[in-house]
Copies of this chain bind each other. A is one copy, B any other.
Amino acid sequence: MPEVRDIGDGSQDALLVRVQADGLCGWGECETSPLVSIASWDCPMSHSACKPLSASVLGQTLESGKDIQRINALVRTNSFDLLQADHTLSGIDVALWDLLGKKLSEPVYRLLGYSRAYPKIAYASQLFGADPEATHRKARQIAKDVFRAAKFGWGPYGHGTAQQDAEHVHAAREGLGPEAILLVDAGTVWGDNLGLAEQRLPALQACNAVWLEEPFVSGALEAYHHLAKHSGGVKLAGGEGCHNFHQAKNLIDYGNVGYVQVDAGRIGGITTAKAVADYAARRGVQFVNHTFTTDLALSASVQPYAGLETHALCEFPAEPSLLAQEFSVTKLVPDTEGRIHLPEAPGLGVEPDPVALAKYQVAVDIRVADRQVFRSVPITG
Contact = CB atoms under 8 A, between A and B. Distances in A.
15 contacts: A8-B48, A33-B46, A33-B82, A34-B44, A35-B43, A35-B44, A35-B368, A38-B39, A80-B188, A83-B87, A217-B246, A221-B246, A363-B367, A365-B367, A366-B367
Given A10-B46, A253-B221, A243 B33 contact: no
Interface string A336-354: 0000000000000000000
Nearest to A245: B219
A364 interface: yes
A11 to B, nearest CB: 8
A4 B47 contact: yes
Contacts of A9: 47
Contacts of A46: 4, 10, 12-13, 32-34
A81 interface: yes
Copies of this chain, tallied across the complex: 2
Contacts of A220: 246
Contacts of A250: 219, 221, 250, 254
Contacts of A146: none
A244 interface: yes
Classify chain A: how many residues form its interface, as a range: 35 or more
Given A36-B82, A84-B36, A246-B221, A363 B373 contact: no
Interface in A33-81: 33-36, 38-40, 43-50, 52, 80-81
Given A10-B47, A36-B43, A254 B221 contact: yes
A310 B12 CA distance: 51
A75 B132 CA distance: 30
Given A32-B83, A33-B46, 10 more contacts: A4-B44, A4-B46, A7-B47, A8-B48, A9-B47, A33-B52, A34-B43, A80-B241, A219-B244, A362-B368
Closest 9 CB pairs of A and B: A219-B246, A39-B39, A35-B43, A84-B84, A365-B367, A36-B39, A33-B82, A36-B40, A83-B87
A328 interface: no
Interface string A80-116: 1111101100000000000000000000000000000
A22 interface: no
Contacts of A81: 10, 31-33, 241
A188 B254 CA distance: 22
A372 to B, nearest CB: 10
Interface string A178-194: 00000000011000100
A251 B86 CA distance: 21
Nearest to A52: B33
Given A33-B40, A219-B244, A219-B250, A7 B365 contact: no
A325 interface: no
Nearest to A50: B33
Contacts of A365: 365-367
